A and B are shown apart, each in its own frame.
Chain A
């Protein structure tokens, strides 16, 4: 079993490929339809951010386990401009899409764990985990 796979995000179509990869892995872990939809929505959001703000980057999907707990880890990384004010982008209602309930706060809500590493001028790496319950 290939436990680690990734998709490069260069064009908008790669967002669909990243979703597809995420869905396949989520199914394999055993997530139900609703959680699959949540995970793929989070992947969409992360991939779209890369496409829109960094130009290109990578979405990596990993099946993980901790004790008896199985889960899926999504890592979105880019070498884009970075985020100058993380607190601001994590604020509800900040997303430029204007209260469409997505953006990074949305990703955080859809997943169980969320971590963001960003350096202005160097890039951003966001890791988000969903655990199977």
Chain B
């Protein structure tokens, strides 16, 4: 038993047995901070109490004295539980640190640069809900074409993130930005189908914009349909394209469609982190999302995606529930 602690405790206890003041109690409470800091276990504290009491009251009844031995016995497991708890907290800190490292690796691995294209304004935001992102956005570009892949692994965290690396691998094996969307999906689907367990589902959208014709060509593997905003008609429509989720079967026929953009038109590509936002009143409706986007349609594409994210975050009381990815292509 650390003698210094015993001396201090005895002093506090002696004062308290004489006068039961709040001040003495406060001192006792402060003393417990020191005990915790120095890792003094509960059973030791009781033992200190017992020894101090026996010194303060020399004729302490024996049965009272014995009662503390029982209490010591009872507290041993509390002491053990406390130590176990401390070890587990340390372990958790280590895991957290590893997760952060892994998240960094992932970020580096999945880094994509928003390309600069003449006549096209591009904005992108991708915010994971946990350290690791289960959403994926990747650009391919050359002088006149820009391709955008947006994928979403159903599920979050590490398994989703590991899955993403595979899509990245599939995308890297493509020859360039001019590849047809249905070819892109076909290649990635074959890779995913071969290497992913049946319980993993990935949706993916691929679109390619050609600046020479202002044409956007797209295909989808069960992904959230993007929104197309027509400036002339001042209205949103969904860009529908049928196609099975990635990795279910090897040979899938994807649909490919094209649309021509006029000045001020834009396309909004997103993951279900955007469409499945929910506030206290329930799901935030698509109409609401459209309203938010429309209210900032004159801004740059990057300002638009950032505004939509913050606005939806606000509507959800700043509790993000799913990985959130939003890309806007706006014709200038």
Contact = CB atoms under 8 A, between A and B. Distances in A.
Interface of A: 32-34, 37-38, 40-41, 92-93, 99-102, 105-106, 109-110
A101 B72 contact: no
| Residue from B43, B82, B88 having most chain A Cβ neighbours under 10 A | B43
Contact of B87 (A34, A37, A92): A92
A106 B44 contact: no
B235 interface: no
A101 B82 contact: yes
21 contacts: A33-B50, A33-B72, A34-B1, A34-B43, A34-B47, A37-B69, A38-B43, A40-B73, A41-B77, A92-B87, A93-B84, A93-B88, A100-B81, A101-B81, A101-B83, A101-B84, A106-B84, A109-B80, A109-B83, A110-B76, A110-B80
Interface of B: 1, 43-44, 47, 50, 69, 72-73, 76-85, 87-88, 91
A93 B88 CA distance: 8
A38 B73 CA distance: 8
Contacts of B84: 92-93, 99, 101, 105-106, 109
Nearest to A41: B76
A34 B88 contact: no
Contacts of B78: 101
Contacts of A110: 76, 80
B72 A34 contact: yes
B47 A33 contact: yes
Contacts of A109: 80, 83-84
Contacts of A105: 84
A26 B44 CA distance: 17
A102 B77 contact: yes
B72 A106 contact: no
A32 B81 contact: no
A32 B77 contact: no
B72 A92 contact: no
A37 B91 contact: no
Contacts of B73: 37, 40-41
Given A32-B1, A34-B72, A41-B77, A92 B43 contact: no
B69 to A, nearest CB: 6
